[in-house]
Amino acid sequence: MYAFETVELTPAEIEESTHYEKSFGAEWVKGALLWKRADKYVKTNLEHAAEPTSRTRGWRCYQEGEIVWKRKDGQPITQDDIDALNHHTHGQGNTIVGNVGDMTVEQRWFCDSSD
């Protein structure tokens, strides 16, 4: 179990995902709740170390970017931080560049909505 999985969600936050179970299924709901917990962990413990970047590439509906994160408490990045970011995706692609003990970690993402 990841540390962020213990993050408490309000009944309203849970309902935002379980509401869609009939449409998308139980596995989708499970993933959505996992993302919500990771999102809450990230918002509580991390902040942007630099302005996030986003750019559109030469083909239709494709974007990519980077977000550099640091801990709000000024401490080095932990494994819990990296685990949460690995589940806090921004599209189809999500790569975390950095190591435990670094002062920042970079999240590289891409989204191709031309499907």
In this structure, the number of other CB atoms found within 10 A of the CB of residue 67 comes to: 21
Q: Locate 12 and state its tokens.
A: 């309203």
106, 66 Cβ separation under 8 angstroms: yes
CA 90/CA 9 separation, integer angstroms: 20
How does pLDDT run across 1-46, given as a tens digit for each residue?
Answer: 899 999 999 999 999 999 899 899 999 999 999 999 999 999 999 9
pLDDT single digits (tens) 88-103 = 988 788 999 999 999 9
SS (H, E, C) 9-22: CCHHHHHHHHCCHH
What's this model's pTM, rounded to 2 decimal places? Answer: 0.87
Domain ranges in the chain are: 3-112
